Structure 1
Amino acid sequence: MQYEFTLPADYDMGIIRERVAAKGHLLDDFPGLAFKAYLVRERGVAGSPVNQYAPFYLWRTGAGMTEFLRGPGFRTLSADFGRPPVRHWLAAGLHLGPAADREPTTAVREQRPVPETEDAGEALDAALAGLGDRPGLCAAAVALDPERWELTRFTLWHHDAPDHGTRYRVLHLSRPEIRDL
């Protein structure tokens, strides 16, 4: 699951960093949540054209996601920034990399269509296996949007990530139930 708040070009991103520093720990024990990566993009940093707050969640249960979306944290966020559209996918796998015990600093979201001529299961397996155990990889999640037939691969890195996809800076990682799916 991911939602994005694109903020004005002159927005003080320190406000987001302070908010995450003060409230990020609130989901460190949230039931049904594998992990939440508190992500930002800052205009002019690492090639980003925008200021954006765009957290990414990997849920172990649909009930956990539902509870979060109807709970006080999301209600407060929506009151402060407006209720965002929430993208959600079917989780197809999670791979913990060699740096799984390290704090991630960078995240990358890659998305690509799965054409009708391609087997969706094989595409998902290949997206997960294609990462292997690259140095610096904390975790890789693969998911499918069956409405759009779009594959999403989300990776967390302990150091700078490969230069492809949409890159984010990780401000905090809540990981109450992270383990291989």
Structure 2
Amino acid sequence: MHAMQYEITLPADYDMEIIRERVRSRGHLLDDFDGLGLKAYGIRERGTDGSPVNAYAPFYLWADPQAMNRFLTGDGFRGVIRDFGRPAVQHWQGLFHRAGPARETAPRAFSRRTTPLPADADPATVIADALAGHEELAGTDGVHTTALALDPRHWELVHFTLWADAAPEAAGVRYQVLHLSAPGIGRLATGRQW
């Protein structure tokens, strides 16, 4: 499993209805993309859920890394580049994935929190503690999906959770979900990924 996100920050006075319409008219195009576990079409809206900015920021969990490569070099991403310029794409090695009790509910929000691994800490110990937290989180009412990923370049953990309703403030940066494409959600390995 690979996690991926790009965030396109938009002007403070940007009409976010443009993004909503974009997702309404194009979001379904990845509903059957082979190798995609899920894509949460996320936005941040200035003044909502503590966001200081407007942004379009989809988050992906890939069941197949070759599919991620096909997407980034294919027509769908060319449309993003054409309309917004080429964004920096963050991607992380998947460490953990689990469905929550709200898996059958369409999610309305997701959260992403990034935490650095302390330089003097044993990575395996920090990751084990984070995994235990995600195991517990996966049983929480309102959780659709939770995942943990690692950026080994910067030694950071990325905590991603889809929520049936609003994400709690303590969960990290909060996004509204406009659409969920999940053609390969059943292909995402469950539990620890090593």
Tell me whether the two structures share a fold, i.e. TM-score over 0.5.
yes
Q: CA offsets per residue over residues 93-137 of structure 1, 9 Å max, x none?
A: 111000011111111001101123333234334323314201000
Which secondary structure does the structure 2 equivalent of 1:88 belong to?
Answer: strand
The size of the alignment, in residue pairs, is 181
Q: CA offsets per residue over residues 15-55 of structure 1, 9 Å max, x none?
A: 00000011111111111111000000000112110000000
Instruction: Report the Cα distance in structure 2 between the residues aligned to 1:101 and 1:121, rounded to whole angstroms.
Output: 33
> Which of 100, 118, 122 does residue 119 from structure 1 map onto?
122
Q: CA offsets per residue over residues 60-104 of structure 1, 9 Å max, x none?
A: 111000000000010011011000010000011111000011111
Q: Which runs of 5+ in 1 are unaligned?
A: none
Instruction: Report the Cα distance in structure 2 between the residues aligned to 1:6 and 1:62, rounded to whole angstroms.
Output: 26
Q: Which runs of 5+ in 2 are unaligned?
A: 190-194
Instruction: Report the Cα distance in structure 2 between the residues aligned to 1:33 and 1:178, rounded to whole angstroms.
Output: 8
Offset at 1:140?
A: 0.4
Work out whether 1:149 is the aligned partner of 2:155: yes
Do 1:128 and 1:141's aligned partners in 2 also have CA atoms closer than 8 Å?
Answer: no
The answer for the alignment partner of 1:169 in structure 2 is: 176
Which secondary structure does the structure 2 equivalent of 1:36 belong to?
Answer: strand
- TM-score normalised by structure 2 residue count: 0.89
The answer for the alignment partner of 2:63 in structure 1 is: 60
Deviates more, 1:81-90 or 1:113-122: 113-122
Corresponding letter in the other structure for 1:73: G
Instruction: Report the Cα distance in structure 2 between the residues aligned to 1:152 and 1:84, rounded to whole angstroms.
Output: 19
The answer for the alignment partner of 1:140 in structure 2 is: 146
Which secondary structure does the structure 2 equivalent of 1:124 belong to?
Answer: helix
1:75-154 map, 5 Å: 75-131=78-134, 132=136, 133-154=139-160
Do 1:128 and 1:140's aligned partners in 2 also have CA atoms closer than 8 Å?
Answer: no
Instruction: Report the Cα distance in structure 1 between the residues aligned to 2:27 and 2:124, rounded to whole angstroms.
Output: 34
The answer for the alignment partner of 1:31 in structure 2 is: 34
Offset at 1:162?
A: 1.6
- TM-score normalised by structure 1 residue count: 0.96
Do 1:7 and 1:52's aligned partners in 2 also have CA atoms closer than 8 Å?
Answer: yes
Instruction: Report the Cα distance in structure 1 between the residues aligned to 2:126 and 2:104, rounded to whole angstroms.
Output: 28
The answer for the alignment partner of 1:49 in structure 2 is: 52
